Amino acid sequence: MLADVSGDEMDDVSSTASTKEEESSRSDTPTLTGRGRAAMKLKRQLKKCRLQFKCTNYLKEDHGQPLFGIQINQSMKETEPVLFATVGHNRVTVYECHDGGKVKLLQSYADPCTEENFYCCAWSFDDTTGQPILAVGGVRGIIRIISPTMGQCIKQFVGHGNAVNELKFKPKDNNILLSVSKDHDLRLWNVKTGVCAVILGGVEGHRDEALSADFNLSGTKIVSCGMDHSLKIWNLEKEEIKKALAESHVNNAAKTDCPFPTESCNFPDFSTRDIHRNYVDCVRWLGNLVLSKSCENCIVCWRPGGHHESTKLKAEEKEKESVWVLHRFEYRECEIWYMRFSLDYNQQIMALGNQVGHIFVWDLDVDDPTQTKFAKLAHHKSTAAVRQTALSKDGNILLAVSDDGSIWRWDRIR
């Protein structure tokens, strides 16, 4: 059963904006005097962010457990309604967004095991039928492929030795699925042929739970992060990896008794622990730059290498695998881990929820990242931690899921 609220009750909404980030993190403001000066300075600078959203609906799933993940299907046509899925407890639920702030429940999948707790999901499509498919994973480490059209789980993959924390499909190859696990490893699966093609981890891999990863737009690199405070970049253009991925497409288990020769890659192209000093729980590519966050009230925009061209760097500086931090997007009250931000399809909007139910939305469509403006979205009934956000392809609908099992819809005001 869903509690659905819309109309007049949505009027109790506040949306505040500022020029840049919130004035400072707590570590930089040890005294009340310092905070006051920063607040006065902020007030003088206050300019309205061009991104404005209004809360148009919220609903609550009946299990009352935290919803950890939400994903919008970006493969849908522009003329079709926005299709999205939420995951939490042992449930996977699929919805549609309609005009006027309406959210329509389409179907819900309950895992046979009541001990399952789903953490993440990812959309793709069947290249034969064109129908959407949904990959889900969670605490049991089993990846399930659900067909909303057929209304059932059509495949499952077992291989990880512990929980699955994130799933992503490879750009330009809708059959290759990336999974990120508590067992320290990343795996690349071919969902059509059912084989694990590549394992990323081992000698120079993550030394603790891997929490997040992302493909770049061309699908040639993966950036990953985890509880070991590290960020790693893996090159998928290596001949052995390209060969394994190509062979995974033509593998036919019915015609051979031999298991698929899964390729293991123990060495990332780049690794650093210089960006964050705590668990790194979310990472995304922004063009050739990387956005990553920890439990430090800050999303960091950075790139590998120093401020200058690598040819000008000394040999010892190259060996240190230095990073260049371009900007820090600061916010407040987000000090618990597994809080994930999202980008829209065109990478012009970024959204992150915090532990008290607020959502920060940044306008990334600027030439200079230091001039980024943000809007803070708040509703008096949204008080639980916002675990993940999702933006529609055109950036007009912002969705969020919370620890109290609620789903929030915000529509952009033009």
Angle CA 11–14–18, to nearest 5: 150
DSSP output for 29-86: --SHHHHHHHHHHHHHH----S--EEEEEEEE-TT-SPP-EEEE-TTS-TTSPEEEEE
Tokens of 374: 């943000």
- pLDDT given at position 34: 36
Q: Which of these, 188, 190, 189, lies nearest to 265 by C-alpha position?
A: 188
What is the chain's length?
A: 414
- pLDDT given at position 47: 59
Please tell me whether the overall predicted TM-score, pTM, comes out greater than 0.85 for this model: yes
Cβ contacts of 79 within 8 Å, gap of 6 or more = none
Tell me the mean pLDDT per 10 residues along the chain, length 414: 48 40 31 36 54 96 96 92 97 97 96 96 94 97 96 94 97 97 97 96 95 97 97 97 96 82 96 96 96 96 75 44 92 96 96 98 88 93 97 97 98 92
Distance in angstroms (rounded) separating the CA atoms of residues 46 and 40:
10
Q: Which of these, 230, 194, 237, 197, lies nearest to 213 by C-alpha position?
A: 230
Distance in angstroms (rounded) separating the CA atoms of residues 58 and 73:
20
- pLDDT given at position 414: 83
| C-alpha distance across the termini of the chain, in Å | 33
- pLDDT given at position 306: 73
Are 117 and 90 contacting, i.e. CB atoms less than 8 angstroms apart? Answer: yes
For residue 9, give the 3-state DSSP assignment.
helix
Q: Is 29 exposed, middle or buried (0-12, 13-18, 19+ CB in 10 A)?
A: middle
Q: Which stretch of DSSP H or E encloses residue 145?
A: strand 143-147
Cβ contacts of 339 within 8 Å, gap of 6 or more = 281, 282, 293, 352, 353, 354, 355, 385, 386, 387, 388
Are 306 and 320 contacting, i.e. CB atoms less than 8 angstroms apart? Answer: no
Distance in angstroms (rounded) separating the CA atoms of residues 410 and 414:
13
User: Following CA atoms 381, 388, 393, 90 in sequence, which dihedral angle do they give, to the nearest 10 degrees?
Assistant: -100
Distance in angstroms (rounded) separating the CA atoms of residues 199 and 187:
5
- pLDDT given at position 2: 57
Q: Is 15 exposed, middle or buried (0-12, 13-18, 19+ CB in 10 A)?
A: buried
Are 134 and 148 contacting, i.e. CB atoms less than 8 angstroms apart? Answer: yes
- pLDDT given at position 77: 87
- pLDDT given at position 257: 77
